[in-house]
Every structure is written in C-alpha cells, then in structure tokens.
Structure 1
Amino acid sequence: MRRVRPGAASRATGEERALTSVAAGERYAEPADLPRLWHITLSVSGDETPLTEVRRGLEQLAHDHPFLLTSRYANDHAEIRYWEEARDLHDAAAVALRLWGEHRQTAKLPPWEIVGLEVIDRQTYHQRLAEGYGPPPASPVGVHPF
C-alpha cells in the first residue's frame, strides 16, 4: 500500500487548493492549560554548615537543575531563585517545594528546612522591576555568598 501526504492526491489529479487564513476573531481565548513561566524564590534555613559545603551543594544543585538562576548563601541559610514552567501557580509551587528535598541527597545539600516561598508570574515579576521594587534581576547568575 502506498502512503500519500495529505493534499498530494489532489495535486496529482490536477486540482489546485489555495490556503486561506482564518481570523481568530474576538471569541478566541488562549487555552488555560498551556504552561507559563513562574519566578520562584525559595528560602531555606537550618543549623550552621561550613560555607564550602553549602557552596558545593548549591553548585551541584545548579548543575542538576539547569534553570537555576542564582543562589545566595550563608552558613545557616540560602535563597534560590529560578524560573519554573508550569500550568498554574499550584503546580509551580508544588515543584518548588519538592526541589530542596528531592536534591538533598544527590547534591549533598544541608539538612535545612524551607522557610519561605514566593511564586509570581512573569508579568508580575517584570511589573515589579519596572516599578522599582521587587528582587533585582539575577545578575550575576550563579552561586554567591550573601
């Protein structure tokens, strides 16, 4: 059996088909279940840990989680900022709340607990920056002491 691309049979018979454009109109709505970008700020804290161990763990986390923008750390707390793609805020927050625990063994992170979480959509993030408040853009990207 010979397979033919859609539309190829009509060309073979001499029929010409024209492509037409259909306007979306006012009734078009963006599907609600498409993933969106969310800016995550995760704060963790716990018992003092040598700075070299904290830095090494955060660098490994950045390697394991390539969307990590920046981490700031001290010997008893850290802040991780990154972009997450998720359908809605609930999904983004759920992923963020699992990040530290899921990577604690593989990245050898300190046994700290999550003490803060902020999840905002991309529009809110850029609006805050434009208004002069909110976290400054993550620069330089990477792992840095407070």
Structure 2
Amino acid sequence: MGRRREEALSGERAERRLTSIAGGRAAGADAARVRELRPRQDEDEAAPEQGRLWHVVLSVAGPVTPLAELRAGLERLAHDHSFFLTARYAADHAEVRYWEEARDLHDAAAIALRLWGEHKASANLPPWEIVGLEVVDRATYHQRVAEGFGDPPPQLGAVHPFPG
C-alpha cells in the first residue's frame, strides 16, 4: 500500500503489463514482445509461469449481417482458435464460448477483448463491437454446470443460430 501511495503522491503511474504464459499462443514477433514485457528473473527464479484455464463468453453485436456470411466467419474462427467451444449467432449479434489459457484473470480478459478484432480480417467477421464479456476460472465454470446453471458442455466446435 505504501508504494502505491508514494506513486500517487509523486504523480507516477504504475502500469500493469500483460504477459502470456511460456509456451502460450504468442509466436514470432509476438513471442519476442512478450519476453520483452516480462520482468527479468534471476536464474534461481527461472521456474516457468503456470497458466490456468479460463472459460470465456464473448458477446458481440452490430449491423445486420447475412446469416450465411456470419456462420462462415464463425466457422473460420472456430477453426483458427485452438480452444474454441461453440458459437451462437443471429443476424445482429453473436456469442462465442471458448477456453483461454492465461496467467490470471486480467490477462485472460485482455486476450478475450482482442479476439474479435484480431480475427476480423482473417475469419471475415463483421465489424461488430464487443458488448459483453464473462471470464470465470475452470472450477467456477464446472461448479455452475454441476448446479444446473449455465449451459451444459456444448458439442465442440459447434456454430449454430440462437434458438427462436
């Protein structure tokens, strides 16, 4: 608490640096950037960071898009994203559920918030905005399913319209 107070009084601002876990999805230039952002460790402390699995539900919405085009884009996203679970869609909104491996909730949420934008061109997704995000740890997700809340585990990689 003392350090934060000193920073606040001196006008300095502490910045949170996002990093991926070792062996995560970062590759090439991204991996070099992650290593650059990661704090230096003494060789005695060289234990690799342990990632955790986080269940992510990303909700997006925007202008009406032809359903066939939207479905094709979501299927390409499912093919590109290694931990993709399922997607539901309608002409003006969609929901994507998947697992993310990250060090902590902050990193998992930051990665999730970049997902749609980073895959917009490669998967030919509509120019929608993120309107909702839920990130929970693995234990919480399984507890919710066991208690009857939330959806049961979906058919992996399924892309289907919202019921209705």
| TM-score (norm. length: structure 1) | 0.75
For residue 73 of structure 1, what is the aligned residue in structure 2?
A: 89
Letter in 2 for 1:107: A
Any gaps of 5 or more consecutive residues in structure 1?
A: 1-30
CA distance in 1, matches of 2:141, 2:62: 28
For residue 154 of structure 2, what is the aligned residue in structure 1?
A: 138
* CA offsets 1:45-71 (integer angstroms, 9 cap, x no match): 000000001001001111111211100
**8 Å Cα contact 2:74/2:123 also seen in 1:** yes
Of Structure 1 and Structure 2, the greater helix share is in: 2
For residue 104 of structure 1, what is the aligned residue in structure 2?
A: 120
Letter in 1 for 2:136: I
For the residue of structure 1 that corresponds to 2:63, the secondary structure is coil
CA distance in 1, matches of 2:74, 2:53: 22
CA distance in 1, matches of 2:160, 2:92: 14
For residue 64 of structure 1, what is the aligned residue in structure 2?
A: 80
Runs of 4+ in 1 over 3 A off after TM superposition: none
Letter in 1 for 2:96: I
Any gaps of 5 or more consecutive residues in structure 2?
A: 1-46
For the residue of structure 1 that corresponds to 2:54, the secondary structure is strand
* CA offsets 1:91-136 (integer angstroms, 9 cap, x no match): 0000000000000011110000000000000000011111111232
For the residue of structure 2 that corresponds to 1:63, the secondary structure is helix
* CA offsets 1:18-45 (integer angstroms, 9 cap, x no match): xxxxxxxxxxxxx9x4100000000000
**8 Å Cα contact 2:57/2:98 also seen in 1:** yes
CA distance in 1, matches of 2:60, 2:152: 19
**8 Å Cα contact 2:84/2:156 also seen in 1:** no
Deviates more, 1:126-135 or 1:105-114: 126-135
Shift of 1:140: 5.7
For the residue of structure 2 that corresponds to 1:49, the secondary structure is coil
Identity of aligned residues (%): 71
